[in-house]
Every structure is written in structure tokens, then in C-alpha cells.
A = this chain, B = another copy of it.
Amino acid sequence: MKVTVNRKAHFNAAHRLYNSDWTDARNATVFGKCANPNYHGHNYELIVSVKGEINPETGFVMDMKILKALIETEIEAEFDHKNLNVEVSEFKTLNPTAENISVVIWNKLRPNIDKNLELSITLYETPRNFVTYTGD
């Protein structure tokens, strides 16, 4: 009897899309206004999903209080009110697209969650653009 529990969190950050191997002109062509060197930003909405067996004693797959605290420590403390390109080490050499951010978040959370639990990340960059990464 496997259930998926989902916890929503959020962080506000600045970023720009940029490939440092390319000229500025090519960055502007490919990424358009998202390449603005002065940055823009988003209210990122994050859903962390954990799937596993229900513990018969607690009725929990994973204690939401623990998951909430983990997201605060590992993700919000690192990303909230930050400039992703400048202040988050993973994005010094990786373009902070929604796709790449979701993979980085998955990689940061995975070691902190029981191996018997499956982990999946959904990240809203705007209410109209969002991505999902399941580790596959």
C-alpha cells in the first residue's frame, strides 16, 4: 500500500539564462529576454513528492514536519532571496533553467530521504511554466 505525500514550498530568486561557452549574441538569440545580464526573477513554487509504504504505527509515509524542515534547510535557506547564478554554487557552471533547478533540488534532497522512498520534484517557474523530475 504505497502512498505519495506531497509538500509545497516556495522561494523567490533572481536568475538569468546564460551559457558561458557562447557569445553574448548567441545567448541573446537563444534565450531572448531571459538572458538579460541584469537578471530578472521568479516566485518559484516547489512540490516535493515522496512515495512509499504507510508506517502502520504513525499512519505516515514520511512525517510532513520533517519533510518541511528538510526543504527549509536544504533548499529554501540556499535559494530564497538569492541570485541563483551568482550565489548558488551549482549554477556557476550550469544554466539555471527550471529543468536544471529541478535536478539540482532532487540531488540535494535525495541523500536526506530514506532509500526506500521514491522522490520526485515539481517546480513552477511561473503559473504557466513548470517542470517535473523523478530521478530517472
Contacts and interface: CB of A to CB of B under 8 A. Distances in A.
A82 B36 contact: yes
Interface string A53-75: 01001111101110000000000
This chain: copies in complex: 6
Contacts of A117: none
A27 B129 CA distance: 34
Contacts of A57: 19, 21
Contact of A65 (B13, B32, B38, B64): B32
Contact of A87 (B38, B54, B65, B95): B38
Contact of A41 (B6, B14, B17, B127): B14
A109 interface: no
B82 A6 contact: no
Interface string A27-58: 00010111010111111000000000010011
B3 A38 contact: no
